[in-house]
Structure 1
Amino acid sequence: MSDKKTDRRGLGRGLSALMADVNLNPKEPEAAPRRAEMRVPLERLEPNPDQPRRTFEPEALEELAASIREKGVIQPLIVRKHPSKPDHYEIVAGERRWRASQIAQLHELPVIVRDFSDTEVLEIAIIENIQRAELNPLEEALGYRQLMDRFGHTQERLAEALSKSRSHIANLLRLLQLPDDLQDMLRDGRLTAGHARALLTADDPRGLAAQVVSRGLSVRDVERLAKKPNKNGSKPAEKASTKDADTRALEADLSAATGMKVQIDHRGEGGQISISYKSLDDLDLLCQALSGLR
C-alpha cells in the first residue's frame, strides 16, 4: 500500500506542467517562442521500454515520413538522459516522429531535454497516446482509467488539463463496463461509442449488439430497443426511470470513477449501494480503493 501511495504522489510537478511539455498541437509553432533545444543523432535516441503504445501503423508512419521529408520535424521530441548509457537519450514523447524520421532517412532530430522521473515518463506516454486522433473510444477510455488508477487523477483534473469536458471523460469511462466481447466489437469498429453507451442499459446487450451489426441499427434504434420490455414482460429500464436525476447522475459518476456498474437504492433517509465487478482483479482494486478512504 505504501508503494502505491508513493507512486500516486511522486510526480513532483502538476499535470498541467506535464501537459505543457507534451503539447502535440501548438497553434503557431513557428511564431511562438521556442524552448531551448538541441539536435541529437538518431542512433543516440532510444524509445521508452515502458511505452504503453506498442502498435505503430506502417501506413501512418509512411505518411508522417513523407511530411517530414517535405517540412522536417517541426515539433521537437521530449527526451531525458538515458539512465544507463552516457551521451544517449530516452524518448519521453515523440516516438512516432523518431520512427518516421528513420524512414525519411534523417540523421539527427531536434530534442528538448527534461529531467523526468520514471513515473512522469509513464504518465506523459499515456497522455501523448490519449491526444492521438486515431485512438478508438475504448483506447481513449483505457488511457483515462490508467491516469486515474496509477496517478490518482480525478475526472475534473483530467478534463481541465486535457481540455475535455467532464461528461466526455465520464461517458468514455462507462464503456469499460461493457462485457469483453462487446468491447472487442467497439475496438474494431463494429459498434460506435454511441451504440455502446446505449447497450449499457439493455437487458440483453449481446443480442442487441448482434442486431446492430446484422441490421445496421442507429444509436436511436438501440436506445429505443433497450427500453423495451424483456421476454418476462418486465421493463429493465423502469426501475432506473423512477430515480431522480441527482441519483442517476451520482450512479453515473461512481460508475465512471470505479469502472464498474454502480446502483443506488435510496429509501427515505437510508438505502444501499450495489457495485458489480467482473473479475477478482476488479474486486481487489475496489478493496484497495475503499481501504484508502479510511
Structure 2
Amino acid sequence: MTSNPKKRSALGKGLGALLESSSADITTTVSAPSSGGVALISIESIEANPFNPRTNFEKDALNELKESISIHGIIQPLTVRKLGKDKYQLISGERRFRASQLAGLEEVPAYIRVANDQSMLEMALVENIQREDLNAVEVALSYQRLIDEIGLTQDQLSQKISKSRTSITNHLRLLKLPAEIQLGVRDSLISMGHARALVSAGDENRQLDLYRQIIDFQLSVREIEELIRTNTSRTSEETPSSPKTASTPELSSIQEVFKNHLSDRISSKVEIKKTHSGSGKITINFSSEVDLNRIIELLNKSK
C-alpha cells in the first residue's frame, strides 16, 4: 500500500496533529516500512475501543458502509494501538471496523501507534468529534470527558477542536437535561435547537412536559420558544395587585400549544374560550371569503 499525503491530511485537524507529533511512538510492520505507520492487519487481532464516545450505530448506515467497503475497500485506514504481539485496540474508526466485519474482510489497513490510555482517550475523542456524525449529546459527552479526564479548559478545548467556546458551552448545557430528553436528542426525536430551548424552560417536570408536547404536536423550535416565553411572562405578571380573573378559566399548557400550533398551521388567529362548566368555543378569524376558503382547504387536507 502506498502513502497518500492527501489522505493523511483528511484525518481531521486534531488527530492529524497528534499523528505528526515528534513525540508519538509509531510502530510499523516489516511489510510496510515506508507507509508512514500504515499496515494490513488481521481484523481478528483488533478489539473495540472502550473509550469511544459513540454508543449508537445506525444499522442502515452501517449496511451502506459495508456495501461500499465490499466494492471499494477501506479508503481511510483505521487507527489502532499495539497491545502486544498480533494484538491491537482501536483508537478511531469503529464504524469502518464494524462495517468491515459485516463485509467479511479478513484484513484491514490501519495506522499503528503505541499510546497510553490517556493519549488514546484524547485521540479517540478528538477524532470522533471531528470526523464522525455524532449526535449532539454524544458530542457533549465527548467534550465533558476531555474536560474532566484530560484536564482541558473550555478555551483549550476550543482551540484543540477548532470549535467556538459558545458552541462548546451550548453542547455542555444539554447534559443538564433529564435523561429522557437526552435520549430524545440521541434518537432524533427532537433537534438540538429544541433541547437548547428546554434547558431554560424551568425545572425538570416542566422540561419533560414541554418535551412530550414537542413530540405529540410536532412543534417547531420557534413554537416551543414562544410557549416558554409566554408562560414565563404570565408567571411574572401574576402579582397580588393583578389577580387572575375568575370569569375566564385559563387554558392548560396542552390547550395553549394546540391553539398556537393550529394558528401557525392555518396562518390565522385562533382563540379558545372556556367556561367553568367545561364548555366553550374555538374561534378562527378570517379576513375575506378567499381567506375562509383557504382555511377550509387547509383543514380538509389534514383529514
> So what's the TM-score if we normalise by structure 2?
0.60
Alignment of 1:1-294 (within 5 A): 18-21=15-18, 35-82=36-83, 85-203=84-202, 204-229=206-231, 233-234=235-236
Distance 2:133 2:123 in 1: 18
Distance 2:198 2:51 in 1: 34
Distance 2:175 2:16 in 1: 25
Give the match for residue 241 of structure 2.
none
Identity of aligned residues (%): 43
Give the residue type in structure 2 aligned to 1:96: R
Contact (CA 8 Å) 2:14, 2:160: kept in 1 or not?
Answer: no
Q: CA deviation at 1:231?
A: 9.6
Deviations 1:250-276 (A, max 9, x none): xxxxxxxxxxxxxxxxxxxxxxxxxxx
Give the residue type in structure 2 aligned to 1:174: R
Which stretches of structure 1, 4 residues or longer, exceed 6 Å deviation after superposition? none
Secondary structure in 2 matching 1:90: strand
Contact (CA 8 Å) 1:19, 1:161: kept in 2 or not?
Answer: no
Contact (CA 8 Å) 2:38, 2:77: kept in 1 or not?
Answer: yes
Contact (CA 8 Å) 1:22, 1:124: kept in 2 or not?
Answer: no
Distance 1:123 1:235 in 2: 49
Q: Gaps spanning 5+ residues in structure 2: where?
A: 1-11, 21-33, 239-303
Distance 1:86 1:68 in 2: 27
Figure out how many residues of one structure are paired with residues of the other and give that number: 211
Q: Gaps spanning 5+ residues in structure 1: where?
A: 1-14, 24-32, 237-294
Secondary structure in 2 matching 1:114: strand
Deviations 1:67-124 (A, max 9, x none): 1122211212212211xx4232222222322222222232322222212111111222
Relative distance call for 1:168 and 1:231 in structure 2 (3 A) is: closer
Distance 2:79 2:154 in 1: 26
Distance 2:48 2:231 in 1: 53
Give the match for residue 271 of structure 1.
none
Give the residue type in structure 2 aligned to 1:88: K
Distance 2:14 2:196 in 1: 33
Contact (CA 8 Å) 1:21, 1:78: kept in 2 or not?
Answer: no
Deviations 1:112-147 (A, max 9, x none): 221211111122222333235432211211111111
Distance 1:135 1:16 in 2: 17
Contact (CA 8 Å) 2:14, 2:127: kept in 1 or not?
Answer: no
Q: CA deviation at 1:50?
A: 4.5
Give the match for residue 270 of structure 2.
none
Distance 1:136 1:235 in 2: 38
